Amino acid sequence: MSKPTPDVYEQGKGMDAHNKVMREIRSRKEASYDPHEPTRVWLDEDNTPGGVKRSLTIILNTGGCRWARAGGCTMCGYVAESVDGGSVSHEALMNQIDVCLEHEADNADEPAELIKIYTSGSFLDEREVGADTRRAIGETFA
């Protein structure tokens, strides 16, 4: 197995150079995203050990993966659909949840049995979705 040299971590070299290039490429995105609207929301059916269940799938529009904001993976495009600036307020994220609940109310006879929540990074990353917001979302679907 190869062993990285200390040069990999020096400013302007290795990963630092990679991250700089990736940030520049990602800065060229033309689309802008409303922090009060989810990236996507849909109703579906999922196979579970207890049988087929109706599900509500939510992709929250956040600032995206912190690794991607730093430069990140070359193969991941999730950050392209993230809000500029790296963070979305509690109020905006809760507005997104309201939009998703309205979508469900308009398109389903009753609430889904399963709720799946995704982001363009990690729902559990404190810098992407704060603990108070995660708690409020959990209480909304409790």
In this prediction the pTM is: 0.79
Q: What's the pLDDT score for residue 6?
A: 63
Number of domains in the chain: 1
Q: What's the pLDDT score for residue 28?
A: 72
Q: Is 83 inside a domain boundary?
A: yes
Q: What's the pLDDT score for residue 1?
A: 67
Confidence class for position 24, pLDDT limits 50, 70, 90: confident
Q: Is 15 inside a domain boundary?
A: no
**Mean of per-residue pLDDT scores for the chain:** 85
Cα–Cα distance for residue pair 17/55, rounded to 1 Å: 42
pLDDT per residue as tens digits for the range 60-119: 999 877 777 777 776 666 666 777 766 899 999 999 999 999 999 999 999 999 999 999
Structural domain that includes position 110: 27-141
Give the per-residue SS3 of the chain. Answer: CCCCCHHHHCCCCHHHHHHHHHHHHHCCCCCCCCCCCCCEEEEEEEEECCEEEEEEEEECCCCCCHHHHHCCCCCCCHHHHCCCCCCCCHHHHHHHHHHHHHHHHHHCCCCCCEEEEECCCCCCCCCCCCHHHHHHHHHHHC
Q: Is 17 inside a domain boundary?
A: no
Q: Is 81 inside a domain boundary?
A: yes
Sequence-separated (6 or more) residues with CB below 8 Å from residue 34:
61, 83
Nearest residue to 62 (alpha-carbon basis) of 141, 122, 103: 122
Cα–Cα distance for residue pair 57/100, rounded to 1 Å: 9
